[in-house]
Structures are given as C-alpha cells and as structure tokens.
Amino acid sequence: MRIRRELWFGFSLMAIIISVIVIFMPWGNLTNGHLGLLMLALIVVGIMLGFPTAFTLMGMGVFFAWLAYRSVNPDLAVAQVLDLFVQRSYGVMSNDVLIAVPLFVFMGYLVERAALIDRLFRALHLATARVPGSLAVATIVTCAIFATATGIVGAVVTLMGLLAFPAMLKAGYNIKVSAGCVTAGGCLGILIPPSVLLIVYGATAGVSVVQLYAGAFFPGFMLAGLYLGYVIVLAKWKPALMPPLRPEERSVPLSSAMQRLTEYGKHAVAGSLRALRSDSSAVPKRTAFAQFFISLLPLLTIAALLALTYDVATKRAVEVSTAGLELSTGSDGTDSSSQGGGLQEPPADSGGLQEPPAESRGLQESPGEKTQTQGVGAAAGELKETTPELPKPAPAIDQAPTAKTDAVPSTAQAAGRLPTPNWFWITLAICVVVLAIVYALWTWDRLQVFKMLLTSFFPLAILILLVLGSIVFGFATPTEAAAVGAFGGFVLAVVYRSTEHWRAVPQGQPKSQAVGSTLKELGRILKESSFLTAKTSAMVCWLFVGSAIFSAAFALLGGQELVEKWVLSLDMTPLQFMILAQFIIFILGWPLEWTEIIVIFMPIFIPLLPHFNIDPLFFGLLVALNLQTAFLSPPVAMAAFYLKGVAPPHVTLNQIFAGMMPFMAIQVIALVLLYTFPGIGLWLPQVLYK
C-alpha cells in the first residue's frame, strides 16, 4: 500500500503543475516569456519522470534555445544554438570555482576509507560518558566531524547506522531518538564547510566561495549545537528515552603498563613524575615519560596558540620581519625584567617578545610547518611555566642563539610592537583557569581517553581546520586548500591503514608482511577513490553543462523578466519574499535533490535579490541550511533509506521518519534564528573581508 501512496504524491504534484500551465497560459497569444515559464514547468515534470537530469536539461535547453533564436531569425537559429551551447559547455569546463568539487570529493573518499570512524566514535563515547544522553551526544559529534571531513551523506549515515545505532539500542535508547540522531547528524556535512553544496551555490550565484565558507561556519556549528542541546535536554527531561550508561559501558580500557602506573597515584601528571623518579623497574622509564609528555600536550598547545595570538595582535601591519632581527629582542627582554620586578605583565610580555621569531617564520612559510610550531610551543610552554614563579625569565632568553645581534634594530623592533590589547589578557586568564581545572582532574582514565582522542578526533579536526583556516585567512584558494586537504586525507589513510596492518601481523611473524599488505590496500583505496571521484564530479559537472544551456535558453526567452515582473507586481516586503523563496525551496526539496535545486532554480532567485536588498551571500547560507531538510523530509529522505538499509529488520521506516521530525523542527528553528540574527552568518565574513 505504501508504494501507492508514493505514486500518488508524485502524480498529484505533476497534475497540479500541468493543470496550472493549462489554466494560466494565455494560449491565444503566447509570447517568448510564456514559453520560458512553460519550459520551467516542463523541466520540473521532466525531472520527476526520472530521466537523468543533466540530459533532460540539455535536451530541453537546446530545443527552447532554438525556439528563441528562431523567433528572431530562422535561418541562423541552428548555428546560433550550437555556438551558444558549446561556449556554455566550455565555460563549465574552464570554471575555476567548480574545479574544487572533484578535489573536495576526493578528499572525502580518502578520509572515509582511512576507516577511523570506529576509533572516533569509541573515543567520543568514552569522553562523553558522563553527559546525559552520552551516546546520542557522541553520535552527533562523530557525525559532525566525520561528515564535515567527508561530505558523503550516504556513507556517513550507513557507517553510523552500523556503529552508533546498535550501540544506542543496546544501551536501551529509544529507537526513534537513536534513528533521529544518526540521520540528522549524518546530514551536517552538507552545511558545515568545506562542503560541496556551498561550492556549487558559489559557482551558480557568483558568490565568493571563501565568503560562503566563512559565513557557513557558525550557522553549521549552531545547528550541531542545537542538536546537542536538544538531545541533552531530552535526556535530562525523559531519562527513560536515553538511560545513563551502565558502569561497564563507561569503563576505560587501560593498557597493562598504564595499570601498573596507576599504583603511583591517581593523578596522571604527578603519578608519571613519581614513576620517573622512583627506582623500581616495574614500569619502564620511557613509558612513564611518554605519559608525562602526552599529559603536557594540552598545555603546550594552548601556550603555542596564545603566543601566536599575541604575535598577531601586537604586530604592526607594515612590519617586514626577519628571524634574526626578532630573535635579538632577547636583549630587550632583559631590560624589561630588570625594570619591572613588581609588575606581573612585563615578564610575560618579554616572554611574548621572545617567541615571535620562529612564529613569524612559521607564518611566512605557512601551512605544514608543524614541527616548527611545536618547537615554539615547547619554548612558549617553558616560559609560561616559569614566568609566574620566577620574576626573571632573562636566563632562558639569553640562551637564544642569536641574542648577540646588535641592539639597535632590536629596540626599533620593540618600539614596533603595538600595546597588548585587553582581550588578550582576558583570554590568557580564561585559558589558565581552564587548564587549571583540566589538570586538577587529570586522572589516568582521562589521560587514556585523551590519548584515544589524540589518535582519532584531533587528526581529523586539525585537517579540517587547516583546510578551512587556509581558505578563510587567505593563504590558499579553495581549490588549493582542497588539493592539500586531499593530500592530507591520503596521509591519514596511509597512517591509519599502516598502523592497522602493523598490528594485525600475528606475534612472532616478521613485521615486513605488513608493508606489502598496506601498500596493496593503499593502492586499492586510491583506485576506488579516484573512480568514485570521477563519477561524482561527472554527475555534478554534467548537470552544470546541461543547466548552462538551459538557463541560457530561459534568459533568451525572457522568462526571467516575466518572473521578475510578476514578483515585483506582488509588492512583497523583503521578509515576505524571503519566506516565500525559502518555502518554495523547502517544497522543492521533497521531490528534487539539492544539486538540481541549486543548479536549476538559483539562477531564477538570484537576480530577484537586489530588488529586496538581500545579500546573495546571506541568501546562500539560508538556502544551505534549508536544504538540510531536503535530506530529512519524507518521502524522498535519502538519509532514512540509508539507515533502513543497515538497521535491524524490525526497525520500520516510519519509526525512522518519526525520529527525524524533531530534528527537522530544529532545522526550521535554526533557519528562523539565522534570519532574525543575520550576524550569526555574516559576522565572520564581515570581520575578515570588509
């Protein structure tokens, strides 16, 4: 019976469109503009018939373009259509925005095949064990991170359906809630940059992808945050839906070496130090030191980040700095410490001054210079630790190798610094407090969870942040960042696959086996990812080839003018227009896919925006948020079908749909929030690019 209902839905939609055409077309005197509208209505019907959309667009575009040219000069029509078509196609082939599509898609496939999702989920599951609805929270966070890096809805929902869905059901979670988390979380990759949807929108609407990425950053995290908030509140409010985890599900597996280390005290930092000092050989010194070092990583990272912030915040824009010059500020540091023994700031200040050299080099040489920044981090860390206790950081600074360079440029350099802004001290204070809390609670269990996160969560997060950061801060174009991201994805695949193979070698066998099997698998991963990339980019880009001629025909026929005249005659306020536009897109999201909606319908909406004073960038963010619902709205909700494909047989499609509903409601709330407070999306692009 269900199938009938589906057919009815489609048929009635088609019937409505066709009857509207039949009734409202002025059949007596058809102008070209009316032909354009007819074409638009026919394309919706044509797409719903299920023929590959790219070719529907191509065929119709060619035919209607010919009609348009024929009405002007029948003799030249064919030649003109052919010219237009091939030039438009070549335009797609040489489009410098769309070129990022295959690269991001490739990155996604590589990251997916690195197969780190189960580690990621396990680590997050343990990390969130105490939060209400912990498994649901872990699911959404895993989805957000993984979907962001891969952007493949189908694969993310399927994988989470295999990993998180069973875990939640076994823990006694409600089926609907579990299904909702997996499907809604899996779709987050559509919105959170780097997403292919935003590139496609940018290419269609002529909006800078860089600004779109900067703009979509906060709305994306706001949506994820709303999901999390909903789940946590629900778990608190109705614990029966998401019972707390049983102790055995929460226990953190410790390695035998770490178990022995626990004898030296509960606290991991103190314990590992004690183990380092003790004479007993129960625990190898190397292990103890490794634990100690890993424990220090958060401190070092935050110190490095603070130092970098300090450097950026106090640097004069014009300054051209060389490493030698800046290192020499060490001598200046001695001055300041001798002046102000009582003052707290100066020492820290001089500490800050000492750091820039490597940093500014890091800046010049830019991404990928990890070792260097780490080195700085370590240096900064030492300084930060020493400054509160000792009022004279000078000795440490004197060790700087080039500190002997003459003092003249150094003072000029010091004068070149801007005064430290207040917010920096506030941030510093917050960081110190947070670090203090973290280290107060730093038990062995938490250290172990941190280690698990270190091998799953952080590499992905760093990859995403590097790609996004280099785009947003202008170090690289989206294309370049995508390529480097794809390369990074490959590195991830290499690292994760080789460790897996390394561990899989049975005890006593030579480890060299692992090399062969790893290489074989990497070859397979590269091959499969390339083929899939070719298919996906051909799918997206041929759609553009089709729509290029289609939208040209629409413009030639004057359909656009007619639409504009009609919309303006309605005399709507911007708010009404916006609601109408979003509502149409929402409705179109039921039968159509997002690629089709953006490629076919955005060219119609975009020219209307200036009439209502709407920023195309802002409109794009709303559309991206809106199209999230397209994945969750029945009957064509792809996410639901992917989950159904791997769920236990007794989970019905209706249960999954019911589970998705609250999340759809949250999406609508997010849409309203973004519209009411445009700053959520527009603040970052404005700060960075205006």
> Is the Cα dihedral 441, 443, 445, 450 positive or negative?
positive
Q: How far is the CB of 558 from another protein (least distance, A)?
A: 22
Q: How far is the CB of 57 from another protein (least distance, A)?
A: 8
Nearest to another protein of 57, 275 (CB atom) = 57
Q: How far is the CB of 411 from another protein (least distance, A)?
A: 30
Q: How far is the CB of 324 from another protein (least distance, A)?
A: 18
Report residue 213 as tokens: 């990425």
Report residue 100 as tokens: 């990022």
DSSP annotation string for 56-85: HHHHHHHHHHHHHHHHH-TTTHHHHHHHHH
Q: Among candidates 217, 163, 284, 40, which has minimal Cα distance to 647?
A: 163
Q: How far is the CB of 93 from another protein (least distance, A)?
A: 3
Nearest to another protein of 149, 549 (CB atom) = 549
The rounded distance, in Å, linking the Cα atoms of 225 and 223 is 5
The rounded distance, in Å, linking the Cα atoms of 193 and 213 is 6
Nearest to another protein of 78, 312 (CB atom) = 78
DSSP annotation string for 230-269: HHHHHHHH-TTTSPPPPHHHHPPPPPHHHHHHGGG-SBHH
Enumerate residues 6+ apart whose C-beta is below 8 A from 605: 581, 619
Enumerate residues 6+ apart whose C-beta is below 8 A from 297: 454
Contact between 466 and 179 (Cβ < 8 Å):
no
Nearest to another protein of 44, 625 (CB atom) = 44
The rounded distance, in Å, linking the Cα atoms of 682 and 686 is 6
Nearest to another protein of 14, 431 (CB atom) = 14
Site of tokens 């193979």: 501
Nearest to another protein of 222, 525 (CB atom) = 525
Nearest to another protein of 42, 515 (CB atom) = 42
Q: Among candidates 317, 316, 410, 305, which has minimal Cα distance to 359?
A: 305
Q: How far is the CB of 575 from another protein (least distance, A)?
A: 31
Q: How far is the CB of 492 from another protein (least distance, A)?
A: 14
SS3 443: strand
Site of tokens 């003249």: 408
Taking the CB of residue 67, how many other CB atoms lie within 10 A of it? Answer: 18
Report residue 361 as tokens: 């080099």
Nearest to another protein of 79, 434 (CB atom) = 79
Contact between 191 and 624 (Cβ < 8 Å):
yes
Q: How far is the CB of 484 from another protein (least distance, A)?
A: 5
Enumerate residues 6+ apart whose C-beta is below 8 A from 239: 132
The rounded distance, in Å, linking the Cα atoms of 70 and 396 is 82
SS3 267: strand
Nearest to another protein of 155, 228 (CB atom) = 155
Helix segments in 366-443, DSSP class H: 370-389, 394-398, 407-415, 422-440
Q: Which long-range contacts (CB under 8 A, 24 or more apart) does 21-26 make?
A: none
Nearest to another protein of 386, 530 (CB atom) = 530
Site of tokens 């979380």: 185
Q: How far is the CB of 332 from another protein (least distance, A)?
A: 30
SS3 195: coil
Q: How far is the CB of 649 from another protein (least distance, A)?
A: 6
Report residue 225 as tokens: 């945050």
Contact between 196 and 101 (Cβ < 8 Å):
yes
Nearest to another protein of 225, 367 (CB atom) = 367
Nearest to another protein of 562, 598 (CB atom) = 598
Nearest to another protein of 31, 366 (CB atom) = 366
Q: Which long-range contacts (CB under 8 A, 24 or more apart) does 289-295 make?
A: 291/258, 291/261, 291/447, 294/447, 294/450, 294/451, 294/454, 295/268, 295/269, 295/442, 295/447
Q: How far is the CB of 192 from another protein (least distance, A)?
A: 20
User: How far is CA 608 from its chain centroid?
Assistant: 30
SS3 421: coil
Q: How far is the CB of 59 from another protein (least distance, A)?
A: 3
CA angle 106, 110, 113 (to 5 degrees): 140
Q: How far is the CB of 638 from another protein (least distance, A)?
A: 9
Q: How far is the CB of 96 from another protein (least distance, A)?
A: 7
Nearest to another protein of 80, 667 (CB atom) = 80
Q: How far is the CB of 111 from another protein (least distance, A)?
A: 13
Contact between 416 and 316 (Cβ < 8 Å):
yes
Nearest to another protein of 58, 682 (CB atom) = 58
